Structure 1
């Protein structure tokens, strides 16, 4: 099983490369090529180094290789939090890595006093989040910073133990 650790700003390039490979591979079944091309061409968001520095990001790695990552936006004093990302290297999907990362984010959220998590799921990821206990609230058009709209599903999960 892969080890988990907190992501650091120095991980940014590896995170973004993994994310881009995952989007190109796993989202191709639900999005047109031009949408994926625009999605993947966008550089990392300016907020990403801050999210990593805040301590809300986790990395799964094995033998020094990054296999996946997940990011929870930590906003002190809020009783809800946003799952910003969960990505797994396409060659390692199906091993339970994403579910373990998401479970660790949920534990982190409970420690922070959060009672609810929410996210905007890509269409291909909806079944994964449903297996993790998230409930679809509504379909939406997520305004990606590249200028495209991504069909997605807004989902939420109430956390036990918060």
Structure 2
């Protein structure tokens, strides 16, 4: 697998891989209903393209490409140190692709002085981050389209969750 720069032109393929990854890999950890809430099987739209391009524009990003040219995975790490995306195609799972992309982006961030990193990782992604030295901070639950999804907050390099202000 070659790691290459991810560009906006790659985003439609990344979106399709995102859906395949959630439904194919994370589906072992989440119910079908949770997977549909997380990634509804919808077509690529101009609105989605603009949203993803904005997020990509504030990130370091890479893609993994197999020898036959197929997209094997993609990842991006926001300039503020948050892993926003880390997904691998089901056919490329358990081959070290996610770990290689994670290390590549950590290196890019470190070159820019960003070493305090964090991720909201799914059950499927949590072991990848833990193998890379991320520490579990807490469990988390989010609501997507009325469906509860559990994930994990993990951090590395001294990142700490901001304190929440109390309101009275």
TM-score, reference length from structure 1? 0.84
Structure of higher CA gyration radius: 2
Q: Does structure 2 conserve the Cα–Cα contact (< 8 Å) formed by 1:120 and 1:155?
A: yes
Give the 5 Å matches for 1:1-162. 2-41=1-40, 44=48, 46-54=50-58, 56-62=60-66, 63-75=68-80, 81-144=81-144, 146=145, 148-158=147-157
Pair 97,122 (structure 1): closer, same or farther in 2 beyond 3 Å: same
Structure 1 stretch displaced more, 85-94 or 54-63: 54-63
Distance 1:30 1:94 in 2: 15
Pair 48,12 (structure 1): closer, same or farther in 2 beyond 3 Å: same
Q: Does structure 2 conserve the Cα–Cα contact (< 8 Å) formed by 1:61 and 1:67?
A: yes
Following superposition, the deviation at residue 143 of structure 1 comes to: 4.4
Distance 1:149 1:112 in 2: 36
* Structure 1: 5+ residue stretches without partners: 76-80
Q: Secondary structure at the match of 1:24?
A: helix
* Structure 2: 5+ residue stretches without partners: 43-47, 159-168
Number of residue pairs matched by the alignment: 152
Following superposition, the deviation at residue 12 of structure 1 comes to: 0.9
Q: Secondary structure at the match of 1:153?
A: strand
C-alpha RMSD over aligned residues:
2.0
Pair 132,95 (structure 1): closer, same or farther in 2 beyond 3 Å: same
